[in-house]
Amino acid sequence: MNPYLDIAPEVQTALAQGQAVVALESTIISHGMPYPQNVETALRVEAEVRAHGAVPATVAIVQGRLQAGLSAAQIERLGRAGHAVTKVSRRDMGFVVAAGADGATTVAATMRIAALAGIRVFATGGIGGVHRGAEQSFDISADLQELAQTPVAVVCAGAKSILDLRLTLEYLETQGVPVVGYQTEALPAFFTRESGFKVDYRLDSAHAIAKAMHAQWALGLPGGMVVANPIPQAHAMERGTIDRAVAQALQEASAQGISGKASTPFLLARVNELTGGDSLASNIALVLNNARLACAIALAYAGLGH
């Protein structure tokens, strides 16, 4: 057991008994949505996981401790503090722990902490990736490198539509990370069900995905897997609307000199404003949808005896 890691009793018991556990990230709490929707959504996602037969483990750093599983009070703490909480990727983990500070974990940091705890399935909104203009800025999310080396399946609605999706797929291919489409051959783009790009493999059941996870890791292949789960049709947004909002948000970010890890929260918030709040409702719907699929995969994986 890592000396800096605390596993919530409910999560610890579930892991010891071979039950299904689903990791959840905390950047969405402090940086992804405004208060109080952030806290309400986090608690709602946890409830959704429990309702579908798995145990939720929301991941964060609280007072310098890596946490696999948060209390409602800890979720409230992160939600109220909002952007005052450090956004923590892999690079930042040691420093936030050493300072005894709070940290909201990105996909990369959540994967690392989940793996330390022995959790193999993680549900989030969308993964990070290669940013537009990366050929000049070299702005590539650490999420992609973490996927290349940490054995966790990440259930998401594809990569965020603010990214360069073609280069993101190329980077994942180079790093040997499979991109699986759940009941689809098209890569979803967060708010939209299609992006114009294809996934590597289409698998139509949670059991098939669990078997692929087991085979990959039994072969000694490093890294994780992207499970791309399209946003439900009823909540999907029109591609042209999102493309226009993203283009305007990117132009404003450039004009204001916003870059690095500040760019994603700014862009998502600005897209939400430009779409009249529709994208926030879609964001919540897709996170809940991903949690449901993650539960099914975690249950199937646990059923394989792991």
Task: Please report, for residues 129, 143, 155, the alpha-carbon distance to residue 209 in angstroms, rounded to integers and kept in the order given.
Answer: 22, 21, 11
Q: 180-217: per-residue pLDDT in tens?
A: 999 999 999 988 899 989 999 999 999 999 999 999 99
Lowest pLDDT segment from 1-5, 13-17, 19-23, 113-117: 1-5
Q: What is the DSSP string of 177-223?
A: --EEEET-SBPPBTTBS--S-B-SEEE-SHHHHHHHHHHHHHTT--S
Mean pLDDT of 154-167: 90
Mean pLDDT of 82-103: 97
Tokens of 235: 């909540």
Helices (H) then strands (E): counts for the chain: 13, 11
List of residues 6+ apart from 220 with CB closer than 8 A: none
Tokens of 12: 């610890």
CA dihedral 271, 275, 281, 282 (to 10 degrees): -70
List of residues 6+ apart from 12 with CB closer than 8 A: 69
Confidence of residue 237 (pLDDT cuts 50, 70, 90): confident
Tokens of 250: 């990117």
Residue-level pLDDT at 33:
83
Q: What is the pTM of this model?
A: 0.93
Confidence of residue 306 (pLDDT cuts 50, 70, 90): low
Residue-level pLDDT at 3:
96
- Select which of 25, 46, 76, 146 is catalytic: 25
pLDDT, mean over the chain: 93
Mean pLDDT of 269-279: 80
160 catalytic? Reply is yes
Confidence of residue 261 (pLDDT cuts 50, 70, 90): low
Residue-level pLDDT at 292:
98
Residue 283 belongs to domain with CATH number: 3.40.1790.10
Q: What is the DSSP string of 217-283?
A: HHTT--S-EEEE-PPPGGG---HHHHHHHHHHHHHHHHHTT--GGGHHHHHHHHHHHHTTTHHHHHH
- Select which of 146, 160, 185, 252 is catalytic: 160
Mean pLDDT of 51-78: 98
Q: 139-148: per-residue pLDDT in tens?
A: 899 999 999 9
- Answer yes or no: is pLDDT of 168 > 80: yes
25 catalytic? Reply is yes
Which residue is it, tokens 């990959």? 216
Structural domain span for residue 38: 5-303
d(CA 71, CA 77) in angstroms, rounded, equals 10
Number of domains forming the structure of the chain: 1
CA nearest to 272, candidates 38, 4, 16: 38
List of residues 6+ apart from 120 with CB closer than 8 A: 114, 151, 152, 153, 213, 298, 301, 306
Cis previous bond, 188, omega within 30 = no
Q: Are strands 55-62 and 65-68 parallel, antiparallel or unpaired?
A: antiparallel
Amino acid at 272: N
Residue-level pLDDT at 278:
73
Confidence of residue 115 (pLDDT cuts 50, 70, 90): very high
Confidence of residue 76 (pLDDT cuts 50, 70, 90): very high
